[in-house]
Amino acid sequence: MLTTLARLGLLAGAVLLPASLALADTPPSPQPAASDLDPDRLVLARQIVAIVLPPDRAMAIMDSISKSIMRPLETMLRQQVHSSDPGLNAIFSDFLNTMPATLHATMQPLLPEQSEAMARAYARKFDRNELTQILVFGQTPVGAKYLSRSTELMQDPDIQAFYARLVPAVQAQQAPQVAEFKRKIAAYLAAHPEVAKQVRQSSGN
């Protein structure tokens, strides 16, 4: 059986997942060669991304998105890891409280790469005429507001309320699969004591 510390490690890993999902909707894939993209489309796409993620506000926007996505998950994790031991609760709370700063420090030097990746995605998904129309719209007051605020919709109270309901709903829906997963893990560790020993050692117990 996994120890309390091992379970905490798994939950800590779960905290990091939504933050990564905030930055990418699909798993990483090899970056296509520059020759695969129309240079003119890429120029237009970069101008659009500069409106979506203004350089002077990009980090603040990404911080807000990460916090918005993590907030309901943090609530769930705090409930799951809550213990009668104040020291354990303090350690876990400290971990959660330091995550925003950790994510910020990780993301900040990667912002140029993210903006370029977004530009390449726009250039790949839209043709030159479509990109021109998007850019023209984005250069109007309402277009600029729409594009620059689109990434901030996650902070809207209704969106936040939805995710607050979604997390426990998903958790309840997956409860049978999680229970079966735990049963299989326990059975496997019981049948393979050498692996169980490695798990105990890796968790520091």
Label residues 166-185 b or e (16+ Cβ within 10 Å = b).
ebeeeeeeeeeeeeeeeeee
pLDDT in tens, 191-201: 988 988 887 87
pLDDT at 47: 96
| Helix and strand totals (H; E) in the chain | 10, 0
Is the pTM higher than 0.85? no
pLDDT in tens, 78-111: 666 666 677 777 777 777 777 777 777 877 887 8
Whether 45 contacts 120, CB under 8 Å: yes
Report residue 33's pLDDT band, with 50, 70 and 90 as the boundaries.
Answer: low
Backbone angles phi, psi at 32, to 5 degrees: -65, 155
Cα separation, 19 vs 152, in Å, equals 15
Give mean pLDDT, residues 3-15: 39
